[in-house]
């Protein structure tokens, strides 16, 4: 969880500091500022998304530091939903193939989190002292 949080926050910072780097990383061609339409909201969207990533990263790191298992469990279905939405967006042509990386990141993260929680629960129950 902490690793995911640090990576999310770092990518958020990249988007805040260098929006064109984030745009390129998602498979889009950055448009120079002089060529943007007056009503182009791309940079606003990147700023908002990047700030959300910084915040989300902080939440994950703080939850990991507090060993907040309920939070970890809640992330599994929502990350699977994110995987589904991004993957479907790519498959249907609504988003460029660069978004598939986001979907895979979320899907793998959800599965690994779910497996880690199950392993820990099994370990905890298997080593618990028997009651007399």
Domain that holds residue 112: 68-132
| Rounded Cα gap, residues 120 and 122, in angstroms | 5
Residues 55 and 98 in one domain: no
Q: Say if residue 14 is in the same domain as residue 54.
A: yes
Q: Among 66, 92, 109, give the residue marking a domain's end.
A: 66
Tens place of pLDDT per residue across the chain (132 aa): 899 999 999 999 999 999 999 999 888 889 988 899 988 888 999 999 999 999 999 999 999 999 999 999 999 999 999 999 999 999 999 988 888 988 999 999 999 999 999 998 898 887 555 555
Look at the block and give the residue holding tokens 């979907």. Answer: 103
The answer to whether the CB of 50 falls within 8 A of the CB of 16 is yes
């Amino acid at each position: 969880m902490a690793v995911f949080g640090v990576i999310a926050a770092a990518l958020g910072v990249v988007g805040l500091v260098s929006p064109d780097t984030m745009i390129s990383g998602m498979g889009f061609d950055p448009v120079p500022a002089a060529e943007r339409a007056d009503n182009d909201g791309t940079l606003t969207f990147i700023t908002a998304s990047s700030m959300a990533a910084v915040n989300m990263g902080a939440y994950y790191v703080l939850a990991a530091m507090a060993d907040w298992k309920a939070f970890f469990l809640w992330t599994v279905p929502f990350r699977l939903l994110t995987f589904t939405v991004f993957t479907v967006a790519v498959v249907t042509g609504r988003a460029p193939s660069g978004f598939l990386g986001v979907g895979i990141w979320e899907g793998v993260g959800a599965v690994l989190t779910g497996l880690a929680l199950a392993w820990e629960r099994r370990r905890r129950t298997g080593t618990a002292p028997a009651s007399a």
